[in-house]
Amino acid sequence: MNLRRLWAVARKEAIHIRRDPRSLILAIGIPMLMIVLFGYALTLDVDRVPFAVWDQSGTPQSRDLVARFTASRYFSLHAAVDNPEAIERAIDRREILLGVVIDSRFAEDIEAGRPGRVQAMVDGSDGNTAAIVLGYTGAVAQAHDRAIALEQARRRGVDVPDTPVDLRARVWFNADLESKNFIIPGLIAVIMGLIAALLTSLTVAREWERGTMEQLISTPVRPAELILGKLVPYFVIGMVDVLVAVGMAVYVFDVPLRGSVTLLLAMAALFIVGTLSQGILISTLARAQLLASQLAMVSTFLPAFLLSGFMFSIANMPAPVQVVTHIVPARYFVSLVKGIYLRGVGLETMWFDALLLAAFAAIVAGLAIVKFKKRLA
């Protein structure tokens, strides 16, 4: 290993990057775009569900129930209708997600001590949203049921408190339940996966495709120097991306950073070395840019996006998929970043994740060098 040769490769690669200003701008621009999108536009929180109601009862009792829906911040009344077809049409046209039909004997039934019937029809196409909407609907119906039961009990002279059990919920780490606070930190991992897929996966394949690899081989540069030299400029870009992401999170989107910035950057550096090496490894194996780009997408970006726990919680996945997530390095990085950001914890709780991340970086970088040697031979 000769540092001078390594440095020469790094400089050569940096010149390549500088000559292609658009790619460089996009390498910084795409992460910024992602943060803006996720910070501003994208959320999985289900709020203000548009619903239509067909109140066949038209009594104070049924209007009370409707009022309970409209008062909830989870629902917003789209229309009051008077026939079932209108609900069907509105669901087909995706104007509403929920149709509530109150039975014509709702009030009589309740007065007689029988359950008053309410029908809820939810557009189930998006199963996740529908499940949440049904949960909210159930909660409204339950609250109404409790209120009536309480009233009836009091009328019979039973002395009971409004709420027998008072649930005092306190939310830690993210008191306002803002999804950006948990998505933006995790996004850093996705961005890194992306940089690896977009930048480094092509860097070796390009030399093969253009025929410049033969020229490189004829120089005294060694495989380790070549691979590490190629890593250096992309590492710098990756770190700039991390700084941009952390900066935007704090200054534009007010995401609190409770833990240590130094630890965050150190972990990010470890993770970047790992994913960039993975990109180079793919590039070495593929030798063609088209193939390398596709392989990199599938092996770095998609897992970082879908299997890292960045957005979809790993605990909810089926057991075999959970096993697979253990080989996704982004998983450990996401849990580290979220820990540092939201819980403000340090290495004392998360040393194992950090260790795995370091091991991953070392193994993949080593593998890239070894594979490259074999390719040359």
Partner 1 sequence: MWERILHMLRKEFAQVFRDPRMRMVIFGVPVIQCLIFGYAVTMDVRHIGLVVMDLDNTPRSRDLVAGFLGSNYFDALRRTHDEREARGEVDAGRAGAILRIEAGFARELDAGRTAPVQLLVDGSDSNTARLVLNYSQQVVGTFGRATLEARQLALTGRRPPPALVELEARAWFNENLESRNYFVPGIMAILVMLVTLMLTGMAVVREKEIGTIEQIMVTPIRPIEFILGKCAPFVVIGFIDVALVTLVGVGWFDVPIRGSFLVLLGGMGLFLLSTLGIGLFISTVSQTQQQAMMTTFFFFFPAMLLSGFIYPIANMPEPVQWLTIVNPLRHVLIIIRGVFLKGVGVDTLWPQMLALALIGSAVLGFAVSRFRKTLA
Q: Is 194 in the site for partner 1 (CB under 8 A)?
A: yes
Are the CB atoms for 190 and 301 separated by under 8 Å? yes
Q: Is 117 in the site for partner 1 (CB under 8 A)?
A: yes
| Dihedral sign, Cα of residue 216, residue 218, residue 223, residue 224 | negative
- Closest to partner 1 by CB, 112 vs 377, is 112
Q: At what angle do helices 179-195 and 329-338 cross, to 10 degrees?
A: 140
Q: Is 160 in the site for partner 1 (CB under 8 A)?
A: yes
Report the residue from 73, 83, 85, 161 that binds partner 1 according to the rule CB under 8 A: 161
Q: Is 60 in the site for partner 1 (CB under 8 A)?
A: no
Shortest separation between residue 307's beta carbon and partner 1, angstroms: 6
Among residues 317, 322, 279, the alpha carbon closest in space to that of 299 is found at 279
Report the residue from 35, 122, 246, 249 that binds partner 1 according to the rule CB under 8 A: 122
* 303-322 residues near partner 1, rule: CB under 8 A: 306-307, 312-313, 315-318, 320-321
Residues in contact with partner 1, shown as a per-residue x/- string from 323 to 362 under the rule CB under 8 A = ------------x--xx--xx-x---x-------------
Give burial (CB, 10 Å; 0-12/13-18/19+) of 79.
middle
Among residues 232, 234, 225, 224, the alpha carbon closest in space to that of 201 is found at 234
C-alpha atoms less than 13 angstroms from C-alpha of 21 in its C-beta half-sphere: 0
Shortest separation between residue 278's beta carbon and partner 1, angstroms: 16
Q: Return the amino acid letter for 372.
A: F
Are the CB atoms for 367 and 278 separated by under 8 Å? no
Q: Is 58 in the site for partner 1 (CB under 8 A)?
A: no
Strand-pairing partners, residue 101, are 54, 119
Q: Is 248 in the site for partner 1 (CB under 8 A)?
A: no
Which of the ranges 85-93, 247-255, 272-280, 360-368 carries the binding residues for partner 1, by CB under 8 A?
85-93
Q: Is 291 in the site for partner 1 (CB under 8 A)?
A: yes
Report the residue from 3, 7, 15, 43 that binds partner 1 according to the rule CB under 8 A: 43
Shortest separation between residue 317's beta carbon and partner 1, angstroms: 5
The SS3 call for residue 240 is: helix
- Closest to partner 1 by CB, 113 vs 220, is 113
Shortest separation between residue 255's beta carbon and partner 1, angstroms: 11
Among residues 273, 248, 282, 247, the alpha carbon closest in space to that of 261 is found at 247
* 254-273 residues near partner 1, rule: CB under 8 A: none
Tell me the C-alpha to C-alpha distance, in Å, between residue 273 and each of 68, 279, 363. 54, 10, 11
Which of the ranges 2-10, 78-86, 88-96, 214-222 carries the binding residues for partner 1, by CB under 8 A?
88-96
| Dihedral sign, Cα of residue 248, residue 250, residue 255, residue 257 | positive
Judged by CB under 8 A, how many residues of this single chain contact partner 1? 123
